[in-house]
Amino acid sequence: MPIAAPTFPAPLQSTLSLSKLSQFDLTPSIGTEFSKETQISALLSNPVAIRDLSILIAQRGVVFFRDQDLTTEQQKIFIDKLGRESGRPAESSFHIHPLTPTSSELGDEVLKIVPAFGFRDMLEQPSNLPRASGGWHSDITFEPFPSNYAALKLTTIPKVGGDTLWASGYEAYDRLSPALQQFLATLTATHSGEAFKKVKSINIRSPRGHPENAGDDLLAVHPVIRTNPVTGWKSLYVNKAFTKRINELSLDESDHLLSYLFAHINQNHDLQVRFKWKEGSLAVWDNRSTFHTVTNDYGKENREGNRVISIGERPYYDPNSISRREALRDGAGSDLA
């Protein structure tokens, strides 16, 4: 009996209900910012706006909002609705970080963002600071069902510094030669969060937002090129923090190819956007098609915030999907104003 070809969801179509709201693109490739008149708290009961926002975030990679009155509880409601309105699997919910203590101050679903472990100590010997480019990642790709959307609101902001950068996985894909694009689409990679196990004092939480995000191995295999189900566009899907090995290649080949792809992401500043936080700023990004990193340049000042991550679908590659540039050329991205 012949095996049926896999079927993939059709991309979502926006109603353009957000186009009347004041907004501007921060770069051609990635990042859109709304003016402070748009309050997410006022959109929570508007499913059409939430659905259109889920599409806009998936298209633009990251979307910023200023002077938000959003509470942490509303931040959870918002990220949950983004996933539901854009068709996430029914079993997917909020991610619970493997290291979240059982009596977490803000509840299991909210991760308190604080300065990186050991960062203060490293400041004493600046020559020991890792390269700024070393922090690029997509959140929690060591999970079999990783994140679709994430929202971060900082509560304590340094006087200067502490910016966050995002990079577009769509644009990273589009800039590769057709021959390399085709080759990468045949490959899978192993993603690992095993570094978290070094924090021995804390038990690994399980399950973590999906029944298959369970156990304590913190390993997952994903396609190297991933199709975003909301846009239907292809994205590069390897990141320096968690992607350890391209499975179909020798270790030597894998190390060299991954090294090239990580540099491709962090050395092309014209596929990146840099965001300066202010009080009330909210960033919402699509973890399927972007990478991000903090800037550890704020010395001994404090930088804290609350991050909520939702779980999406198991990553897949649809050979019939198109790239972002192809979509824009064809006019399929006409709501990217």
**Cα dihedral 240/259/265/166 (nearest 10):** 10
The phi, psi pair for 329, rounded to 5°, reads -65, -35
Residue closer to Fe ion, measured from CB, 33 or 139: 139
Q: In whole angstroms, how far apart are CA 249 and each of 69, 187, 336?
A: 49, 9, 38
Least distance (Å) between residue 24 CB and Fe ion: 25
Residue closer to Fe ion, measured from CB, 54 or 293: 293
Least distance (Å) between residue 196 CB and Fe ion: 13
Residue closer to Fe ion, measured from CB, 116 or 129: 116
Least distance (Å) between residue 211 CB and Fe ion: 24
Least distance (Å) between residue 152 CB and Fe ion: 8
Residue closer to Fe ion, measured from CB, 115 or 232: 115
Residue closer to Fe ion, measured from CB, 43 or 58: 58
Contact 224, 187 (CB under 8 A): yes
Residue closer to Fe ion, measured from CB, 166 or 233: 166
Least distance (Å) between residue 139 CB and Fe ion: 4
At 267, which amino acid appears?
A: Q
Site residues for Fe ion per CB under 5 A: 139
Least distance (Å) between residue 191 CB and Fe ion: 14
Contact 123, 301 (CB under 8 A): no
The closest residue (CB) to Fe ion is 139
What distance in Å separates the CA atoms of residue 204 and residue 192, rounded to the nearest whole number? Answer: 14
Give the residue ranges of DSSP H helices in 99-149: 119-123
Residue closer to Fe ion, measured from CB, 139 or 313: 139
Neighbours of 296 (CB within 10 A): 19
Least distance (Å) between residue 200 CB and Fe ion: 23
Residue closer to Fe ion, measured from CB, 164 or 231: 164
Cβ-proximal residues to 232 (8 Å cutoff; 6+ apart), any chain: 10, 11, 318, 321, 322, 327
Contact 309, 94 (CB under 8 A): yes
Least distance (Å) between residue 117 CB and Fe ion: 14
What distance in Å separates the CA atoms of residue 167 and residue 137, rounded to the nearest whole number? Answer: 10
Nearest to 232 by CA among 51, 81, 9: 9
Nearest to 228 by CA among 141, 333, 145, 321: 321
Q: Is 140 left (phi over 0), alpha (psi -120 to 50) or beta?
A: left
252 three-state secondary structure: helix
